[in-house]
Structure 1
Amino acid sequence: MCYGNPKIIFLLFSLLSWESVTGYCNTQNRRSATPVNEVDYLTNLIETAQKNALTYQFPKNADRYKPTDENKIEDFGTYDFIIVGAGGSGTVVASRLSENDNFNVLLLEAGDFGNNFTDIPAMYFPVEYTDYNWGFFSTPQKTCCLGMVDKKCPLPRGRGVGGSTLINGGIYARGSRLDFDRWAKHVNDSTWSYEKVLPYFKKSEDFHHRDKAAPVYEPVHGKGGLWNVEYHLPRSPQLNSWLAANEELGYGVADYNSGTGLGASPFQLNTINGRRLDGGKAFIHPFLGRKNLHLVKEAYVTKILIDHIRSSAEGVVFTLHHKKYTAKASKEVIMSAGVFQTPQLLMLSGIGPKKHLESLNIPVVKNLQVGSFLKDHPTFYGVVFGSNYTEPTKPLKEQVEEYLRGYGALSLSGNNQGVGFFESKFTKGTGYPDIEIGMVPAVAISDLSQRTFSLTDQTYEDLWKPMNRSQSYITYVISLHAESTGTVRLNSSDPYEYPIVDVNFLSDPKGKDIETICEGVQILMNLSKTQAFQKIGAKLGGRPLKACKEFEYLSKPYWYCAIRQVTMNIYHPASTCPMGNNPERGDVVDSHCKVHGIKKLRIADASVFPFSLAGHPTAAVVMVGEVVSDLIKKEYQ
């Protein structure tokens, strides 16, 4: 059996092919042949995937899971805990609960483990065009995504053991300490204060300071945890210019995970020797030998079984290989299906807004504002710069060789190297960042860029097509505490239909969100004029957007127009089942993540965030998994 030190297991992943390791661990995999030459194998894999991504069509629903006989239901057994969804939090909860030999844990996941392809961080775009992405899109938008096909924002969500950690940028950014103190105050429970959650962040982390020039505040970082954190190597000269420019303007270079959340830095990443370390590999794969941990892949949950008399969750209904099953939970059902699908399942089970459920003829079990407060980080991708620095372009085979040695272009998602966290005029002097700017050095634009961002031909021709890929660097501006609120709703009572997601970015009546992004753009323009950036000839690139031709180029009205054209999401949805003590104001779970009014039902994923954080949600999602696991252990000790 495959059981023991996760770092030893990962070493096996590094030295052998994925197929060899999964064979060693006695798990099923779609492929069985072990490549003779790993360099040639990975080179061919990348070339094939990039080609396939250009024509791949996203599924429109989850019909692939439908049972052959809808009326035939088999008993799958009884477990202490049933965890729905093996995402960033679900993998943690399953791993931690199964540490207790007295707990019998069932983990249901609709996808499979990652593989050699998902391991490669630079396959960030091509991996979206595989079964590892559910392939959601928003409804047509009126205030954002206007330069995108059908005015819909693409909403990638991971499908597999690890969830979105299989396909995201792999960035480790916890947020500001003020986020968590605000969280604790909001729910009136110090469990979520920075002082209390910091040990949980450190518990899961294994930090390695391999870029010695990068700023690090060691006391806040963990050692020996299951989840590796490291810096990418080598640095781009454009990244060094970015850091120098921030110092020149007085923003400073700092460890943004130190608690302040402020400062410029190279990104900290959830990779290990340049390979993606998703939640499945970190928290589940090393422990598959535990007899009390039962992972069922390709299992699609369609309903939570509710005892109406006791208002209690008793189990779930799911499909597996076109058969329908029920599984019972003696202690709890824990929802970790993600920000879109956790509320979808609650509503399908009768827990949600009364009027919405009644309109779909779903019996109302509990009237809660599930899916009513979607929060996200609206992100503007419309500022690109040219330079006189040319990034050397290496043959793919050479890049693969570097990747296998733990560094180089393939070991980074989308070449996403630098970041800065800033205060806008709305938070100036508070120490609370509300603007994030990402800096992506040259060779970030690819043949897949237009398709991945769903840009119209005109938007792409104006924005990125004119750029010299080997010299240009891309930036993006994020509003970290956006006031705009979206929704997640059911399309029908059919569990195989995708939910309706309205992101509703930049719709706040006072216009604070768009003003915050516009201020971020001005920070970028000021940074580009520094001596540090002028040394590499930094110059605003692209052409004026034709959609904004009525406005003077680079004027504030022009930027407002451009921001609405090219603002979309960045893998950061949250808050569809927000935490709080008052269901009357829309809270769905209490401070222990228990669903209000329903016994034995808990939620552990980004759905429970009471608001968006000043960081990337994955780190906090894992922290939630750690906290919830301890709360459960104490309750049932």
Structure 2
Amino acid sequence: MGKIYRQPSELSSNYDFIVVGAGNAGAVVAARLAENPAFKVLVIEAGLSDNEEGSDVLRMPFLAGRASGTKFDWNYKTTAQEGLGSRVVEFPRGFVVGGCSNINNLVYIRGPKNDFDRLAEVSGDPGWSWSALDKYAKMNESHVQAWNGNDGEYDPTAHGHGPLKTSLVAEPSELDQRVKEASKQLKNEFPWKHDLNSGDCLGLGWIHTTVGDGQRSSSSTAFLNPALEARDNIDLLLSTHVTRLAPTEVGGVDFRVVETAQTANGISTKITAKKEVILCAGAIGTPQILQLSGIGPKAVLDRAGVAQLVDLPDVGQHLQDQPFIFYQWRANAPTLASHLRDPANLSSAMAEYAKSKTGFAAGAARYNTIAFLRLQEAEMTRLLEGARDPAAGPDSAHFLWMFVNTFVPNPGQSPPTEGDWISVSAVLQSPTSSGSVDIVSYSAFDHPAINPAFLSTAFDIGTMISAFKTIHKFFSAPAWTGFFGEPSDEVAALINDAAIEAYIRKYATTIRHPVSTARISRADEDAGVVGPDLKVKKVQGLRVVDGSVLPFASAGFPQAQIYILAERAAALIKETWA
């Protein structure tokens, strides 16, 4: 068995690979590398074990997302966002083995073929295309039945045989059935798609979730923990920050030395990788560590008091994230709003789950259907004003909706105390705004300045306004007859573009999909941070494998894309050192 350590001083000094971060990507890369018994792998995780006290909040599907703001969260905040009325927004990231795969909202949707084909084009490597990555997607994930044996509507050929388990809704609600029927009635504008993981996801369909056997399936449960249990060539170090990466020689550019500490004033320990350091700390942690190591834009490093060792201006820049917001309507049919208001129903669900991992709490029952949609051509032309379409291609969405079978308040709103309600979340899927992640000091224990620059372009706010107005067109289908009551008071007041814009800027927040802070580019380009093989440019011994390398906001959900990215990255690393 692999060993789990809580003190750097207990470690062996003999590791071929050091994987920094045990999140979505890091757990996969480490587990796959450990399949070769000749490799000795160390994983360093700043956060907690996924078996820590209180970890039920990570595993129970009904509690998905509730770990935000707890000890399992880095508890980051953004800088004041001008596009959101100068609000500071909470920015959850997983501070736990499994990373965000253990605290996210479970959605597993790979996105359209366009998105991966654009990645291949931007990187100059056809190995990142949809068709080339198909085998990695299928070795990563497998479809399983929901807790009640329901297989759902899906395409078996789009799914594989991997350890990550995904499933569909156990018990579709009346809201879900009406969404599907309305889609079929308005099929030219809102087509129904059989399986949103098939590469064709422009339209509406069922949400696939990372749930199997009645509990969350994550990078730790599917990959890292099984590897630690089965192999003796992989170790995990917990509760330890990587404070910087250092050259093996003074003045050199071989960054295989990893410096760690457990507190801001604690003892510093150095560990050297024989083959590679693989940085998997995510779209916030990865640029922070690179900048602390003297790799990045000089102005940022100078302000933080860090000497620049390698000039890579794109490190921490081009941050893209996707803002979203909720709209609410009364329903003339039972929804979860009234069901959840009765404590007896919640107690019953929890008791059943504790006994058998079945029932309401064993699935993501609030949200089951989703829509990926594009702007109308004339509207897109007007908003872009001659600029390039930010979507990956003609089959990629500009915005999406998720249909939620209860009242979901935006930050600052209060839920009603009576009645049945549904909500629709609108997400800006292809933003043109971009920001930055910049260190503010030379300490790894000081959070960096996170500035997604939400809604800072006319295209972005215009697309969000259009997303709301398009909802009314969808709700005009005959399938909705008799279902709706009145909208919430605030939604009822959204009678013109100015009112809609004010509502969006007042309430929008992050859907937690940051990318692009160490983005991929062609090997011969000066721009970018990593080349097509994910090796950091201008240095040796260092790769990045996480969402930071994705060059644009995901047209699907980044969780799924990062899993696939990590599978191919592990194969590339194995091939390099075979």
Picking from 362, 374, 386, the partner of 2:306 is 362
| Cross-structure match for 1:502 | 451
Given that 2:27 and 2:98 are in contact with CA atoms closer than 8 Å, whether structure 1 keeps it comes out as: yes
Picking from 90, 103, 125, the partner of 1:167 is 103
Label 1:245 to 1:542 Cα distance change in 2 as closer, same or farther (>3 A). Answer: farther
Distance 2:185 2:470 in 1: 13
- Counterpart mapping for 1:331-350 below 5 A: 331-350=275-294
Residue 400 of structure 1 and its aligned partner are, at CA, apart by 1.8
| Cross-structure match for 1:6 | none
| Cross-structure match for 1:37 | none
| Cross-structure match for 2:154 | 216
Aligned to 2:450, the other structure's residue is in SS state strand
Picking from 117, 134, 138, the partner of 1:202 is 138
Matched, 1:387 2:323: no
| Cross-structure match for 1:471 | 420
Aligned to 2:83, the other structure's residue is in SS state coil
Residue 607 of structure 1 and its aligned partner are, at CA, apart by 0.3
Amino acid at match of 2:68: E
Given that 1:261 and 1:614 are in contact with CA atoms closer than 8 Å, whether structure 2 keeps it comes out as: no
Residue 527 of structure 1 and its aligned partner are, at CA, apart by 2.1
Aligned to 2:274, the other structure's residue is in SS state strand
Q: Normalised by the size of structure 1, how large is the TM-score?
A: 0.81
Matched, 1:236 2:173: yes
Given that 1:76 and 1:326 are in contact with CA atoms closer than 8 Å, whether structure 2 keeps it comes out as: no
Return 209-218 or 368-377, whichever deviates more.
Answer: 209-218
- Counterpart mapping for 1:414-493 below 5 A: 415-425=366-376, 426=380, 430-442=394-406, 444-445=407-408, 455-456=411-412, 460=413, 464-466=414-416, 468=418, 471-493=420-442
Distance 1:294 1:374 in 2: 32
Given that 2:523 and 2:532 are in contact with CA atoms closer than 8 Å, whether structure 1 keeps it comes out as: no
Given that 2:17 and 2:40 are in contact with CA atoms closer than 8 Å, whether structure 1 keeps it comes out as: yes
| Cross-structure match for 1:59 | none
Picking from 252, 256, 259, the partner of 1:314 is 256
Residue 608 of structure 1 and its aligned partner are, at CA, apart by 0.3
| Cross-structure match for 2:386 | none
Return 383-392 or 422-431, whichever deviates more.
Answer: 422-431
Amino acid at match of 1:516: T
- Counterpart mapping for 1:81-92 below 5 A: 81-92=17-28
Picking from 500, 514, 517, the partner of 2:464 is 517
Amino acid at match of 1:410: A
Label 1:140 to 1:617 Cα distance change in 2 as closer, same or farther (>3 A). Answer: same
Given that 1:119 and 1:275 are in contact with CA atoms closer than 8 Å, whether structure 2 keeps it comes out as: yes
| Cross-structure match for 2:295 | 351
Return 601-610 or 236-245, whichever deviates more.
Answer: 236-245
Amino acid at match of 1:433: A
Return 615-624 or 247-256, whichever deviates more.
Answer: 247-256
| Cross-structure match for 1:12 | none
| Cross-structure match for 1:573 | 514
Label 1:604 to 1:125 Cα distance change in 2 as closer, same or farther (>3 A). Answer: closer
Amino acid at match of 1:597: K
| Cross-structure match for 1:400 | 350
Label 1:541 to 1:245 Cα distance change in 2 as closer, same or farther (>3 A). Answer: farther
Label 1:472 to 1:498 Cα distance change in 2 as closer, same or farther (>3 A). Answer: same
Residue 583 of structure 1 and its aligned partner are, at CA, apart by 8.1
Amino acid at match of 2:400: E
| Cross-structure match for 1:537 | 484
Label 1:582 to 1:567 Cα distance change in 2 as closer, same or farther (>3 A). Answer: farther
Amino acid at match of 1:248: Q
Aligned to 1:475, the other structure's residue is in SS state strand
Aligned to 1:573, the other structure's residue is in SS state coil
| Cross-structure match for 2:88 | 152
Distance 1:576 1:78 in 2: 31
Residue 318 of structure 1 and its aligned partner are, at CA, apart by 0.9
Distance 1:466 1:401 in 2: 26
Amino acid at match of 1:390: P
Aligned to 1:268, the other structure's residue is in SS state coil
Quote the RMSD (CA, aligned, Å).
Answer: 2.5
Residue 493 of structure 1 and its aligned partner are, at CA, apart by 1.2
- Counterpart mapping for 1:296-307 below 5 A: 296-307=237-248
Distance 2:510 2:450 in 1: 12
Matched, 1:131 2:97: no
Unaligned runs of 5+ in 1: 3-25, 30-64, 68-72, 546-551
Q: 1:460-518: per-residue Cα shift (whole Å, max 9, x none)?
A: 1xxx54474x611111111211010011011111221001101111112xx11112122
Given that 1:380 and 1:517 are in contact with CA atoms closer than 8 Å, whether structure 2 keeps it comes out as: no
Aligned to 1:339, the other structure's residue is in SS state helix
Aligned to 2:570, the other structure's residue is in SS state helix
Aligned to 1:206, the other structure's residue is in SS state strand
Given that 2:4 and 2:235 are in contact with CA atoms closer than 8 Å, whether structure 1 keeps it comes out as: no
Amino acid at match of 1:522: K
Amino acid at match of 1:164: C
Identity of aligned residues (%): 27
Residue 323 of structure 1 and its aligned partner are, at CA, apart by 3.9
Q: Normalised by the size of structure 2, how large is the TM-score?
A: 0.89
Label 1:75 to 1:286 Cα distance change in 2 as closer, same or farther (>3 A). Answer: closer
Label 1:244 to 1:403 Cα distance change in 2 as closer, same or farther (>3 A). Answer: farther
Matched, 1:247 2:184: yes
Matched, 1:281 2:281: no
Distance 2:11 2:184 in 1: 62
Q: 1:543-581: per-residue Cα shift (whole Å, max 9, x none)?
A: 269xxxxxx742122112212122221121101000002
Distance 2:102 2:550 in 1: 21
- Counterpart mapping for 1:579-598 below 5 A: 579-581=520-522, 586-598=527-539
Aligned to 1:127, the other structure's residue is in SS state coil
Amino acid at match of 2:285: Q
| Cross-structure match for 1:41 | none
Distance 1:167 1:410 in 2: 16
Q: 1:307-362: per-residue Cα shift (whole Å, max 9, x none)?
A: 45331112211124854311111111110011101100100000010111122221
Aligned to 2:490, the other structure's residue is in SS state coil
Given that 1:80 and 1:105 are in contact with CA atoms closer than 8 Å, whether structure 2 keeps it comes out as: yes
Unaligned runs of 5+ in 2: 381-388
Runs of 4+ in 1 over 6 A off after TM superposition: 26-29
| Cross-structure match for 1:58 | none
Distance 1:493 1:191 in 2: 37
Given that 1:339 and 1:605 are in contact with CA atoms closer than 8 Å, whether structure 2 keeps it comes out as: yes
Label 1:271 to 1:523 Cα distance change in 2 as closer, same or farther (>3 A). Answer: same
Label 1:286 to 1:582 Cα distance change in 2 as closer, same or farther (>3 A). Answer: closer
Distance 2:526 2:178 in 1: 47
Distance 2:536 2:570 in 1: 16
Distance 1:92 1:125 in 2: 22
Label 1:133 to 1:201 Cα distance change in 2 as closer, same or farther (>3 A). Answer: same
Aligned to 1:310, the other structure's residue is in SS state coil
Matched, 1:614 2:555: yes
Q: 1:24-75: per-residue Cα shift (whole Å, max 9, x none)?
A: xx9799xxxxxxxxxxxxxxxxxxxxxxxxxxxxxxxxxxx9x9xxxxx998
Given that 2:64 and 2:104 are in contact with CA atoms closer than 8 Å, whether structure 1 keeps it comes out as: yes
